[in-house]
Amino acid sequence: MHEQALARTLLREVAAVCRQRRLGAVRSVAVELGELSGYEPALLASAFHELSAEWLGAAAELELRVVPLTAECVDCGTAFPIEDFTFVCPSCRSGRVRVVRGEEVRLLGLSAEAAEPAA
């Protein structure tokens, strides 16, 4: 299950940010996940939930923002959503298209409490 590996990677990054910025408990983590990223949102959310307490000391919420698959026509420049995996420009019917969104996995940010001041 590669969603578990991605969840670990995300949590490693979140933990590093928290140490670097001296943050306290993490409440939520926001992630962009492209439709064609190769990851299943429900499986990623489950893996994140299972592992977050281990990595962060308490369970954190995962806010997934699914990015629709979008392409751009090389011939006419039209940007359009890919539906039913049809990679054909709706304007000029060209098959010369390139994917411009929908393959990414991006850590957008996190919400955390301020750390307790050192005594």
pLDDT per residue of the chain (119 residues) written in tens, 0 to 9 = 699 999 999 999 999 999 999 998 999 999 999 999 999 999 999 999 999 988 888 889 999 999 999 999 999 999 999 999 999 999 999 999 999 999 999 999 999 988 766 55
**Assigned domain for 31 exists:** yes
Burial of 12-45, coded b for 16+ CB within 10 Å and e otherwise, reads eebeebbeeeebeebeebebbbbbbbebebeebb
pTM of the shown model: 0.83
**Assigned domain for 17 exists:** yes
The pLDDT value recorded for residue 115 is 73
Domain count, the chain: 1
Supply the range of the domain harboring residue 58.
Answer: 2-68+101-113
**Assigned domain for 47 exists:** yes
**Assigned domain for 90 exists:** no
The pLDDT value recorded for residue 116 is 66
